[in-house]
Structure formats: structure tokens, C-alpha cells
Amino acid sequence: MSTISHPGRVTDPRREMFEDELGAVVAAVHAKFPDHPRAEVEEVVSEAYQHLQAGATVTGHLIPLTLNRSLRLMRESTVSKGHGMDADAPRCTPLGCRTG
């Protein structure tokens, strides 16, 4: 594995790419849920990634799955806490949607 040398540090290109990808997931999720603190979104994304990674046999798909899982967890959290939800807005679960 090659590393890139910068004054005062040595970096792993794969680690930087991984951090950039997770940072992009955090940004995308936070854009959908701007009323939530960024730290909360970072925690949700980190936990989602760790959960998926623990059972993964193939890792190439972890970033898009992390995005999907993070969005789902944030939606569930938002609905359960009542953030930004209109009382008449449909609430959806894997079993279907309902209003009120």
C-alpha cells in the first residue's frame, strides 16, 4: 500500500477517501434534516456504518447502504420525536402509510 507524504504527516489515500465518502453521507443526511444538530447526524451515520460493516462480507456497497440506513434512521427518529411533522402528514413504515 502506498502512502502520500505531506510535511509533518503521512496519509493513507484509502483512509482519506473513506473519510471523504462518510463526510459526503453526513452532508447529504444533514441536508435532508437541517433541524437536527450535525453532531447527531454524524453519530447516526457512524453507527449505521459500524452496524453494516459488522455483518458485511462485501464492503464495496457499504457507503450507499450507510446513506440509506442513516436516512431511514433519521426519518424514524424525526417521526418518533414529532420533529417537523404535520399532524395530517402520512407516516410510512415497511407495512404501509397512514395519516393522522
Looking at residue 29, what is its pLDDT? 97
- The domain total for the chain is 1
Report the length, in residues, of the chain: 100
Cα distance between residue 93 and residue 24, in whole Å = 26
Cα distance between residue 71 and residue 79, in whole Å = 12
Q: Which domain holds residue 57?
A: 4-98
What average pLDDT does the structure give for the chain?
Answer: 80
26-39 pLDDT per residue, tens: 999 999 999 999 99
Average the pLDDT over 61-89 and give the result: 80
Secondary structure (DSSP) of 14-51: HHHHHHHHHHHHHHHHHHH-TTS-HHHHHHHHHHHHHH
In this prediction the pTM is 0.67
Q: How confident is the model at residue 85 (pLDDT cuts 50, 70, 90)?
A: very low
